[in-house]
């Protein structure tokens, strides 16, 4: 009986050590601030351009420039992780991560369509500004909170 208690305690200690080391690794792999800023501003430019575009006017250029900036910064983001020996997964491994990706996608889609709807249907000229800023700030925070796209470990 005593041996089982000792092994359960040592197993719990080993799991706690593993959790804390994995959490420390996730926190140390946060991408640099300037990559996150460029990615966030590019996403904001995409949503802002979509909200301001009417009949292929000049604001469509903001969508193209934002998409180009987002694509290049995403490649750089993935490359910096590859240099550190980390492979970024584009498809989630865990159900919790999958839920976060789905909710995030729905949220960004709502911000994109909301910026267009607020401007064209409701006449709120500041709608694209508001939604683009919200998307950029949210994306910056998500890159800080989930740097590798995976959910952190609970309880640590």
Residue 2 CA to residue 71 CA, distance in Å, equals 58
Is-contact 47 131, C-beta < 8 A? yes
**Domains held by the chain: number:** 1
Residues of the chain short of pLDDT 50, as ranges, are 1, 155-156
Return the pLDDT at 151. 65
* Nearest residue to 140 (alpha-carbon basis) of 43, 7, 6, 60: 43
Residue 56 inside a domain? The answer is yes
Residue 150 inside a domain? The answer is no
Return the pLDDT at 1. 46
Residue 63 inside a domain? The answer is yes
Residue 25 inside a domain? The answer is no
pTM: 0.73
Residue 61 inside a domain? The answer is yes
Return the pLDDT at 116. 84
Query: From the CB of residue 135, how many other CB atoms can be counted at a distance below 10 Å?
Result: 24
**Per-residue pLDDT tens digits for 71-86:** 999 888 888 878 877 7
Return the pLDDT at 4. 55
Q: Which domain holds residue 134?
A: 32-145
DSSP type of residue 82: H
């Amino acid at each position: 009986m005593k041996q089982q208690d000792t092994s359960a305690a040592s197993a719990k200690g080993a799991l706690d050590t593993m959790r804390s080391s994995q959490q420390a690794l996730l926190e140390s792999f946060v991408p640099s601030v300037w990559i996150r800023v460029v990615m966030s501003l590019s996403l904001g430019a995409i949503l802002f351009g979509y909200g301001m575009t009417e009949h292929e006017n000049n604001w469509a250029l903001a969508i193209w420039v934002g998409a180009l900036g987002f694509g290049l910064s995403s490649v750089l983001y993935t490359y910096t992780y590859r240099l550190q020996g980390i492979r970024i997964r584009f498809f989630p491994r865990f159900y919790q991560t999958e839920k976060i990706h789905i909710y995030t996608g729905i949220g960004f889609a709502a911000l994109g369509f909301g910026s267009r709807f607020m401007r064209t249907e409701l006449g709120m000229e500041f709608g694209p500004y508001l939604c683009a800023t919200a998307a950029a700030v949210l994306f910056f925070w998500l890159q800080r909170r989930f740097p590798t796209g995976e959910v952190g470990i609970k309880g640590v």
